[in-house]
């Protein structure tokens, strides 16, 4: 029994080897028969990752309000100042109103900059006030703009303005909030 | 053929994956803080007119000082106080509590008697804030007027008062002289 078993185990590797050799020969034959070459172009566009950093917060300053009626104050990015409506409800009474500014660093490719939310509620912990109508770059730029950096320019500043709308009976206080700004290569 | 196709497909998948991860790396985000301070509009309302009362003058001219307490606190030259209704000016201030408010007057104003006599000058206005308005007082000068910093402890505070110095000219014509002084209040 032992002798027979050894013979079978020897035969199996031989058979396997034969099959492998046959397979290789077959594969070689096929490859030779259909051999061809192709040149695949390889390209890569390396671009500097977009960086966006805050340069200045958006600040409406100190607004004195006649509480019996609503009012609107707009930080205009084109004029770079606060513009108050003619409703005689609000007046600038101090503080330092300023347009928000952030710096986008990238490379010479168009960058799309956008504001996350169209309306933001600022809060003083008790009451809220609405900030909306965001504008990037210019006074009527809207909440999404595409900027093409100039040659030799690897960063640019994006001003952001918005409108603040008070309501009748608005409570006094320091109101704070935030929105996110996105920058993406096109 | 199948193997060749399989390799090409694998290659495409790899390129797409690189492209996708590249797009993620090309986005950036930052938060922009938004701030606003809203305060109540300042409302200033007169509660009493300034009145120097009745004065007599010898013809030499002089001055009469109306104090914020509502009395003639001093006279000079040929001018003397002759009683009458004497009172300091008064006003109520309504504003947001706890904020510094600048109250100012002009340096000088003139009062007249409808053109019958030469006008007289009132200068060196004085301002007094009650305790609920910060309690300060300041007598201004003829050159700069009065300036006072108030801070309200309540939304409405009454009892602010205004005094000043009247200059009576030599040979000033007798008459009833009237005019106005504008008191301005602004948040700092």
Task: Work out whether the CA dihedral B165, B169, B174, B176 comes out positive or negative.
Answer: negative
Give the gap in angstroms from C-alpha A17 to the nearest C-alpha of chain B: 23
Residue A14 has pLDDT above 60, yes or no: no
Terminal CA-CA length for chain B: 83
CA distance A63 to A50: 36
Q: Does A53 touch chain B (CB under 8 A)?
A: yes
Question: Model confidence at A33, in pLDDT bands (50, 70, 90)?
Answer: low
Q: Does A120 touch chain B (CB under 8 A)?
A: yes
Residue A30 has pLDDT above 80, yes or no: no
Residue B59 has pLDDT above 70, yes or no: yes
**Closest C-alpha to A105, from A69, A38, A180, A54:** A54
What is the pLDDT, as a whole number, of residue B95? 92
Residues 77-96 of A with CB under 8 A from B: 91, 93-95
**Contact B163/B88 with Cβ under 8 angstroms?**
yes
Lowest-confidence pick of A68-82, A101-115, B80-94: A101-115
Measured between beta carbons, which residues in chain A are less than 8 angstroms from residue B41?
Answer: 64-67, 91
Q: Across the interface, do A54 and B31 touch by the CB < 8 Å criterion?
A: yes
- pLDDT digits 0-9 by tens, B83-140: 999 999 999 999 999 989 999 999 999 999 987 789 999 999 999 999 999 888 898 8
In chain A, DSSP assigns E strands to 51-56, 58-65, 71-76, 81-84, 90-94, 100-105, 111-115, 119-123, 128-136, 144-147, 155-166, 173-185
Q: Across the interface, do A129 and B34 touch by the CB < 8 Å criterion?
A: no
- pLDDT digits 0-9 by tens, A142-177: 889 998 877 677 788 999 999 999 999 999 999 999
The pTM for the full model equals: 0.64
Q: Across the interface, do A63 and B38 touch by the CB < 8 Å criterion?
A: yes
> Which is higher by pLDDT, A90 or B7?
A90
What is the pLDDT, as a whole number, of residue A148? 81
Question: Model confidence at A17, in pLDDT bands (50, 70, 90)?
Answer: very low
What is the pLDDT, as a whole number, of residue A139? 83
Please compute the mean of the pLDDT values over residues A55-80 and round it to a whole number. 92
């Amino acid at each position: 029994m032992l002798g027979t078993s050894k013979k079978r185990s020897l035969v199996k590797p031989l058979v396997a080897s034969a099959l492998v050799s046959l397979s290789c020969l077959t594969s070689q034959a096929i490859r030779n028969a259909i051999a061809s070459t192709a040149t695949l172009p390889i390209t890569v566009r390396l671009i500097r990752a977009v960086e966006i950093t805050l340069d200045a917060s958006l600040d409406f300053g100190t607004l004195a309000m006649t509480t019996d009626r609503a009012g609107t104050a707009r930080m205009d990015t084109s004029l770079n100042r606060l513009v108050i409506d003619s409703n005689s409800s609000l007046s600038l009474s101090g503080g330092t109103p300023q347009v928000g500014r952030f710096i986008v660093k990238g490379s010479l490719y168009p960058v799309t900059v956008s504001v996350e939310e169209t309306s933001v509620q600022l809060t003083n912990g008790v009451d809220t006030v609405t900030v909306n109508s965001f504008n990037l770059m210019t006074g009527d730029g809207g909440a999404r703009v595409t900027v093409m950096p100039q040659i030799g320019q690897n960063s640019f500043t994006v001003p952001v303005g918005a409108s603040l709308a008070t309501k009748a009976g608005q409570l006094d206080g320091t109101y704070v909030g935030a929105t996110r700004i996105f920058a993406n290569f096109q | 053929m199948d193997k060749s196709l399989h390799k090409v497909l694998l290659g495409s998948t790899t390129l797409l994956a690189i492209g996708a991860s590249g797009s993620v790396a090309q986005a950036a985000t930052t938060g922009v803080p938004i701030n606003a301070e809203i305060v109540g509009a300042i409302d200033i309302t007169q509660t009493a007119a300034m009145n120097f009362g009745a004065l007599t003058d010898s013809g030499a001219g002089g001055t009469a000082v109306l104090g914020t307490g509502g009395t003639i606190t001093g006279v000079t030259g040929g001018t003397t106080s002759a009683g009458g209704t004497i009172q300091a000016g008064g006003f109520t201030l309504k504003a947001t509590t706890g904020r510094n408010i600048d109250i100012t007057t002009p340096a000088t104003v003139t009062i007249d008697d409808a053109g019958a006599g030469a006008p007289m000058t009132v200068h060196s206005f004085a301002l007094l804030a009650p305790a609920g308005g910060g309690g300060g007082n300041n007598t201004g000068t003829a050159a700069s007027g009065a300036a006072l910093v108030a801070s309200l402890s309540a939304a409405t505070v009454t009892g602010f008062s205004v005094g000043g110095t009247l200059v009576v000219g030599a040979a000033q014509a007798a008459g009833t002289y009237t005019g106005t002084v504008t008191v301005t209040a602004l948040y700092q």
